[in-house]
Chains A and B, each alone.
Chain A
Amino acid sequence: MTWTALSALMSHWRRHPLQLILMILGLALATALWTGVQAINAEARAAYDKAATVLGGEGVNRLEASTAPLTMQDFARLRRAGWPASPVIEGRDRTLGLRVLGVDPLTLPQTAVPAGMPGVGAGDLADFLAGKLGYASPQSVGVAVPGVVLKPLPDLPPGLVLVDIGLGAQLLGVDQQISALLMDSVADLPGPIPAGMVLKRGGAELGLSRLTDSFHLNLTAFGFLAFVVGIFIVHATAGLAFEHRRPVFRTLRAIGLSSRLLAVLVMVEMLVLALIAGALGVGLGYLVAGALLPDVAATLDGLYGASVPGSLSLRPGWVLAGMGMAVVGTGVAAGGGLWQVWHLPPLETARPQAWAKARARMDRVQAGAGLALLAVAGGTLLVGHGLYAGFAVLAGLLLGAALVLPWVLARTLRSIARRARPGLAQWFWADARAELPGLRLALMALLLALAANVGVGTMVGSFRATFTGWLDQRMAAELYLNAESQDQAARMQDWLAPRVDAVLPVTLVERDLLGQPGRIYGVVDHATYRDHWPMLEQVPGVWDLLHQGKGVLVNEQAARRSGLALGDPLALPGGEVPVIGIYSDYGNPEPQAILGIAAFQARFPEAKALRFALRLPPEAVAGLSADLTRTFDLPPEAISDQATIKAFSLQVFERTFAVTGALNVLTLAVAAVALLASLLTLSGLRLPGLAPVWALGVTQGRLAGLEFARSVVLALLTAVLALPLGLMLAWVLLAVVNVEAFGWRLPMQVFPMDLVWLFGMALATGALAAAWPAVQLYRRRPTDLLRVFASAR
């Protein structure tokens, strides 16, 4: 009986393969985008975790500097006081493009020794201590570190080399400075934490994952948006399948199937579909993630200096999450239908005419809920802060608008229909409105996809415009030069003096600023800075004050994160200084400060000026580069010209948003499929409405044309509503989310061509989705239409 019933239920899909395909396709697409994003995030997180747990993760506490950097002397002093502390040096070797982690294996706590690294007593230790042997992830062992053999250690993140602290200090060019002291987290502290240090408990958030969190949250939000859009498709098709099978359900009930068993059977059926579609989706998601991951990896590296492998591994986490989402999504999408099956009376109660009225009432309720969501979004915008509040605003805005959409469209179409010329025109509009209930979900999906497109497009455009302008200001010098040693730097300066307009030494130290790793620069007094530096806020006479040592400039990130305003004191080694200027510093996650060169040297006498910015006529750049290279026998990476740096910066920028753009297009594609799915499933239901018009003397070709036009018009109307929504979205992204995620606020610019593009996309989406159903209608045999009137229905 159960089997018979199940096969009766399943036979529906045999007869309506298109519905089956759409249902599976929708679910698979939704799952794919969600899974893809999850896979990317999982890969990146695994890489961060590796980076974080290279030295033991939760098993290890870190002592870090709170004021002056830690040194070898601090290490020795603590050891002699009985602290089981082990020094580490961390940093980025910019020449090799590697993160360098230098450890002292003789004191390294057992909990901090990476799995697979031979401990004290093993044969490799002597070579390791001698700086002849290092370790790297299997992907990175091919990197050439001069004089060092790299052995693979799977637990290390890519792009990182683990070496002895002696070699590490040498590679990073630091003297006796260390990054932190590690201690086994179970060891008792022999005394109070020494002044000038802070203890960071193992497993506490690392700067890297905090910085990249915002990026991943961005991705997750997009993944979820895509999933929601996909679920619209599933909901539409599942609803239709339930509707079509009402008679079957009723018959099964009539022949004695309990409502409970029926519901269970339908649930089993849905589960099977969900699993099939989920598996497909996870596979597709793997492909999507594999295609996007190289860009994501490049972005994370360029933007945050975080190394993520460019290749994807299958992780049970996101595979299961993807399957889970497919099942949950199906449950959500088919829940209503299932509830109806459960409560289906075995005998046909008059097919409710009240259904339409109920639908209208539901639209109003839904619109009310949408308005409430919009209000919540507005309220959150006023009182909330933080990245999650920003995303809450976005979610409220998008979902609220989507819920309001059917009601707004219905009102709009009704008022157009009232004003339309009676006859065919009036029918066109009235029927568009009549078609709305069947298309509302697809149109909601389209609204979301279009709004996301406008919003993200406007944000990226605004960002790009600001960023390129900023680059022109910031990269004012024509040539940038790196010296290998102070001696070489001095010789270069002498050599350059008569040959260029100005040599501007760039001196910097890497120090904790406002509790985060940052950089402090010392700059000379030159028009290059006075005329070009991209100041957001400044006190009068800022440059004079700076060079008198009476103030400090900070970048926007530092100011925003710590709520610094002009005049506020900034704690620096050697005493507090008032902030006299705030400058924009895009693409940099770290806090930064600038001092006049005299004040800088007084505070950081150890800093070496190994970098120079050169001012010279642009046409002389190529010649001078060649001369410099020849005279000082420089490696190519020692000289960079302005154009190259700008090109590189823009490339990093473009990659940052390439992924967002790709997800955007995919979301739109899902919306198009949703619309197609709805139109195709509607086409059968719409025949009774179309057949009388045809019978009254409108040709099939004309009818098909009108049907096509109607879909396009609905898409365009949706686009009209998506426009303000998208602009609001862009504003929230720029003014709220970016500030929280990246630490900078950007002026919003509207690009009219983008908006034209929006309507183009809406038109294309509507047309693509409507074309096939229209052609189908055109090709229908008259008998199909006539059957509508047949008495034997």
Chain B
Amino acid sequence: MHVRAFLLWLFLAPGAMAQGFAGLGATADGFALPDPDRVLEFPADHGAHPGFRIEWWYVTATLTGADGAEYGVQWTLFRTETAPGGGEALPWQKPELWMGHAALTTRDKHFVAETLARGGTGQAGVVLDPGFAAWIDDWQVAGLPGADALDAMSLTARGGDFGYDLALVAEGPLVLQGTGGYSVKSAKGQASHYYSQPFFRVTGTLDLPEGAVAVTGNAWLDHEWSSQPLAPDQTGWDWFSLSFETGEKLMGFVLRDGGAGFVSGTWIAADGTATALPPGALVAEPLERLDVAGRKVPTRWRLRLADRGLDVELQAMNPNAWMATTVPYWEGPVTISGSHSGRGYLEMTGY
């Protein structure tokens, strides 16, 4: 679950600011709405969904070098429609914007890059034919020739002083989040379509200022689209994607609203069987707030899921994983300890 798409939409449509952060909950007049009865079809649903206001393709990877050094990698492509009904438009005037974020995190450094594009020019896009490819500029996540859909992909991006070129091979099935890919985001019924591929095995190379580093590890891909995914009173977002050494995985999120918040998630068995978490099952508790980029950000968490006997502590690998992009947020790899151990990714917005 990624909140920046909304923020992107926010800064491009400042009129909505008048409603505060809840402007995200502005009515979706004219845009398509998620449909709980909709059955996702692949590979078609890997592509873009015109008519929806926001959509993103999102890859995070936890990696290890030959020397045991740990790394995190993020690759994101956002698509936003700025006006409904952008079908027939003059050149350059398609009401669609794209934004790419790329990051590479080490123990003590965090590299970030951002790039923007307008729709309809070919500078950014997502295609399914001849194979899946999502790109902006020369950043790309694309199916390898001959591979099915998301089964085997290459992932590249680069910034001014870093880059990465990774090969991703899926070792498990796609996971539909929520109910058959219909992910509810508030008690009032806001929702999105959302599925993941959390089973990528990764090999590849990171380009760092010190030189190239060969790495291996795991990656997790999310694809989500909606038009009005936040309730008016929700102010920020904490999102977890955790891979345990048992082969099990957990996706969980907390939508903060000043009260108890809206907490939800999915338990993913090692074979890919997904179970939506009932409300109140997951308890997420921030343990320590650090001063990051002038804000108090919780970089240590305690997560409990009684049903699964889960009681773990998450520690940010690099607490300074601040995304100093147009819309700033925190995103970086975490180390899991406690009842389960493993690695994962944490994203926190609205701080």
Direct contact of A and B (CB under 8 A): yes
Give chain A residues whose Cβ lies under 8 Å from the Cβ of B15. 126
Indicate if B97 sits at the interface (CB-CB under 8 A).
Answer: yes
Q: Is the pair A104, B14 in contact by a Cβ cutoff of 8 Å?
A: no
Q: Is the pair A104, B118 in contact by a Cβ cutoff of 8 Å?
A: yes
Kindly state the separation between the CA atoms of A281 and B137 in the bound complex, as whole angstroms. Answer: 59
Closest chain B residue, CB of each to CB of A176: B91
Kindly state the separation between the CA atoms of A107 and B137 in the bound complex, as whole angstroms. Answer: 10
Q: Is the pair B82, A130 in contact by a Cβ cutoff of 8 Å?
A: yes
Give chain B residues whose Cβ lies under 8 Å from the Cβ of A73. 122
Indicate if A271 sits at the interface (CB-CB under 8 A).
Answer: no
Per-position 1/0 for A157-177, Cβ under 8 A of B: 000000011110110000110
Kindly state the separation between the CA atoms of A725 and B96 in the bound complex, as whole angstroms. Answer: 69
Q: Is the pair B135, A106 in contact by a Cβ cutoff of 8 Å?
A: no
Indicate if A146 sits at the interface (CB-CB under 8 A).
Answer: no
Give chain B residues whose Cβ lies under 8 Å from the Cβ of A75. 121-123
Kindly state the separation between the CA atoms of A513 and B116 in the bound complex, as whole angstroms. Answer: 34
Q: Is the pair B12, A125 in contact by a Cβ cutoff of 8 Å?
A: yes
Kindly state the separation between the CA atoms of A557 and B116 in the bound complex, as whole angstroms. Answer: 43
Q: A104-B118, A126-B12 are in contact. Are A131 and B137 (CB under 8 A)?
A: no
Interface residues of A in 86-110 (CB under 8 A from B): 102, 104, 106-107
Q: Is the pair B326, A72 in contact by a Cβ cutoff of 8 Å?
A: no
Kindly state the separation between the CA atoms of A190 and B138 in the bound complex, as whole angstroms. Answer: 11
Indicate if A123 sits at the interface (CB-CB under 8 A).
Answer: yes
Shortest CB–CB separation between residue A437 and chain B, in angstroms?
74
Closest chain B residue, CB of each to CB of A104: B118
Q: Is the pair A131, B93 in contact by a Cβ cutoff of 8 Å?
A: yes
Q: Is the pair B82, A76 in contact by a Cβ cutoff of 8 Å?
A: no
Give chain B residues whose Cβ lies under 8 Å from the Cβ of A165. 92
Per-position 1/0 for A129-150, Cβ under 8 A of B: 1110000000000000000000
Indicate if A81 sits at the interface (CB-CB under 8 A).
Answer: yes
Indicate the member of A104, A126, A130 with the most B CB atoms within 10 Å: A126
Interface residues of B in 92-138 (CB under 8 A from A): 92-93, 95, 97, 116-118, 121-123, 135, 137-138
Q: A107-B123, A126-B12 are in contact. Are A80 and B116 (CB under 8 A)?
A: no
Indicate if B90 sits at the interface (CB-CB under 8 A).
Answer: yes
Indicate if A752 sits at the interface (CB-CB under 8 A).
Answer: no
Closest chain A residue, CB of each to CB of B12: A126
Q: Is the pair A79, B91 in contact by a Cβ cutoff of 8 Å?
A: no
- Residue of A72, A123, A190 touching B14 (CB-CB under 8 A): A123
Kindly state the separation between the CA atoms of A169 and B92 in the bound complex, as whole angstroms. Answer: 8
Q: Is the pair A170, B90 in contact by a Cβ cutoff of 8 Å?
A: yes
Kindly state the separation between the CA atoms of A126 and B121 in the bound complex, as whole angstroms. Answer: 18
Kindly state the separation between the CA atoms of A3 and B60 in the bound complex, as whole angstroms. Answer: 87
Shortest CB–CB separation between residue B94 and chain A, in angstroms?
8
Give chain B residues whose Cβ lies under 8 Å from the Cβ of A131. 93
Q: Is the pair B138, A81 in contact by a Cβ cutoff of 8 Å?
A: yes
Indicate if A82 sits at the interface (CB-CB under 8 A).
Answer: yes
Q: Is the pair B118, A169 in contact by a Cβ cutoff of 8 Å?
A: no
Indicate if A372 sits at the interface (CB-CB under 8 A).
Answer: no
Give chain A residues whose Cβ lies under 8 Å from the Cβ of B82. 126, 129-130
Shortest CB–CB separation between residue B123 and chain A, in angstroms?
5
Give chain B residues whose Cβ lies under 8 Å from the Cβ of A80. 122-123, 135, 137-138
- Residue of B12, B95, B117 touching A107 (CB-CB under 8 A): B117
Kindly state the separation between the CA atoms of A371 and B13 in the bound complex, as whole angstroms. Answer: 76
Shortest CB–CB separation between residue A204 and chain B, in angstroms?
26
How many residues of chain A have a CB within 8 Å of chain B?
A: 30
Q: Is the pair A72, B93 in contact by a Cβ cutoff of 8 Å?
A: no
Indicate if A120 sits at the interface (CB-CB under 8 A).
Answer: yes
Shortest CB–CB separation between residue B157 and chain A, in angstroms?
11
Indicate if A563 sits at the interface (CB-CB under 8 A).
Answer: no
- Which of the four size classes fits the interface of chain B? 20 to 34
Give chain B residues whose Cβ lies under 8 Å from the Cβ of A167. 93
Indicate if B351 sits at the interface (CB-CB under 8 A).
Answer: no
Q: Is the pair B12, A79 in contact by a Cβ cutoff of 8 Å?
A: no
Q: Is the pair B90, A106 in contact by a Cβ cutoff of 8 Å?
A: no
Closest chain A residue, CB of each to CB of B94: A166
Q: Is the pair A120, B123 in contact by a Cβ cutoff of 8 Å?
A: no
Closest chain B residue, CB of each to CB of A72: B121
Per-position 1/0 for B69-105, Cβ under 8 A of A: 0000000000000110000001111010100000000
Indicate if A121 sits at the interface (CB-CB under 8 A).
Answer: yes
Give chain B residues whose Cβ lies under 8 Å from the Cβ of A72. 91-92, 121-122
Kindly state the separation between the CA atoms of A130 and B92 in the bound complex, as whole angstroms. Answer: 10
Kindly state the separation between the CA atoms of A164 and B137 in the bound complex, as whole angstroms. Answer: 20
Interface residues of B in 301-331 (CB under 8 A from A): 326
Kindly state the separation between the CA atoms of A82 and B137 in the bound complex, as whole angstroms. Answer: 6
Kindly state the separation between the CA atoms of A175 and B90 in the bound complex, as whole angstroms. Answer: 8
Kindly state the separation between the CA atoms of A697 and B348 in the bound complex, as whole angstroms. Answer: 115
Shortest CB–CB separation between residue A340 and chain B, in angstroms?
69
Q: A106-B118, A126-B13 are in contact. Are A166 and B92 (CB under 8 A)?
A: yes
Give chain B residues whose Cβ lies under 8 Å from the Cβ of A129. 12, 82, 97, 118
Give chain A residues whose Cβ lies under 8 Å from the Cβ of B138. 79-82, 190
Kindly state the separation between the CA atoms of A125 and B158 in the bound complex, as whole angstroms. Answer: 26
Give chain A residues whose Cβ lies under 8 Å from the Cβ of B158. 82
Shortest CB–CB separation between residue B38 and chain A, in angstroms?
30
Shortest CB–CB separation between residue A147 and chain B, in angstroms?
13
Interface residues of A in 729-786 (CB under 8 A from B): none
Kindly state the separation between the CA atoms of A560 and B191 in the bound complex, as whole angstroms. Answer: 70
Closest chain B residue, CB of each to CB of A126: B12
Per-position 1/0 for B221-247, Cβ under 8 A of A: 000000000000000000000000000
Kindly state the separation between the CA atoms of A126 and B8 in the bound complex, as whole angstroms. Answer: 11
- Residue of A102, A106, A164, A176 touching B97 (CB-CB under 8 A): A106
Q: A166-B90, A166-B91 are in contact. Are A121 and B11 (CB under 8 A)?
A: yes
Kindly state the separation between the CA atoms of A165 and B97 in the bound complex, as whole angstroms. Answer: 14
Shortest CB–CB separation between residue B67 and chain A, in angstroms?
30
- Residue of A79, A120, A130, A176 touching B326 (CB-CB under 8 A): A120
Q: Is the pair A166, B93 in contact by a Cβ cutoff of 8 Å?
A: yes
- Residue of B14, B83, B116, B121 touching A120 (CB-CB under 8 A): B116
Shortest CB–CB separation between residue B104 and chain A, in angstroms?
17
Closest chain A residue, CB of each to CB of B99: A106
Shortest CB–CB separation between residue A169 and chain B, in angstroms?
6
Q: Is the pair A170, B93 in contact by a Cβ cutoff of 8 Å?
A: yes
Shortest CB–CB separation between residue B5 and chain A, in angstroms?
16
Give chain A residues whose Cβ lies under 8 Å from the Cβ of B14. 123, 126
Kindly state the separation between the CA atoms of A72 and B158 in the bound complex, as whole angstroms. Answer: 23
Kindly state the separation between the CA atoms of A170 and B90 in the bound complex, as whole angstroms. Answer: 8
Shortest CB–CB separation between residue A482 and chain B, in angstroms?
21
Q: Is the pair B12, A169 in contact by a Cβ cutoff of 8 Å?
A: no
Give chain A residues whose Cβ lies under 8 Å from the Cβ of B83. 130
Shortest CB–CB separation between residue A421 and chain B, in angstroms?
89
Shortest CB–CB separation between residue B343 and chain A, in angstroms?
31
Give chain B residues whose Cβ lies under 8 Å from the Cβ of A176. 91
Give chain A residues whose Cβ lies under 8 Å from the Cβ of B95. 130
Shortest CB–CB separation between residue B203 and chain A, in angstroms?
23
Per-position 1/0 for A307-336, Cβ under 8 A of B: 000000000000000000000000000000
Shortest CB–CB separation between residue B254 and chain A, in angstroms?
27
Closest chain A residue, CB of each to CB of B137: A79
Q: Is the pair A76, B122 in contact by a Cβ cutoff of 8 Å?
A: yes
Kindly state the separation between the CA atoms of A164 and B116 in the bound complex, as whole angstroms. Answer: 15
Can you give 26 contacting A-B residue pairs, CB < 8 Å? A75-B123, A76-B121, A77-B122, A79-B137, A80-B122, A82-B158, A102-B92, A106-B117, A106-B118, A107-B116, A107-B117, A121-B326, A123-B14, A125-B12, A126-B15, A129-B12, A130-B83, A166-B91, A166-B92, A169-B91, A169-B92, A169-B93, A170-B93, A175-B91, A176-B91, A190-B138
Nearest 10 interchain pairs by C-beta: A76-B122, A166-B92, A166-B93, A82-B138, A106-B116, A123-B14, A79-B123, A126-B12, A79-B137, A176-B91
15 more CB-based (< 8 A) A-B contacts, given A72-B92, A104-B92, A176-B91: A72-B121, A75-B121, A77-B122, A79-B117, A79-B138, A104-B118, A107-B116, A126-B12, A126-B13, A129-B12, A129-B118, A166-B93, A169-B91, A170-B93, A175-B91
Which A residues are closer than 8 A to B by beta carbons? Answer: 72-73, 75-77, 79-82, 102, 104, 106-107, 120-121, 123, 125-126, 129-131, 164-167, 169-170, 175-176, 190
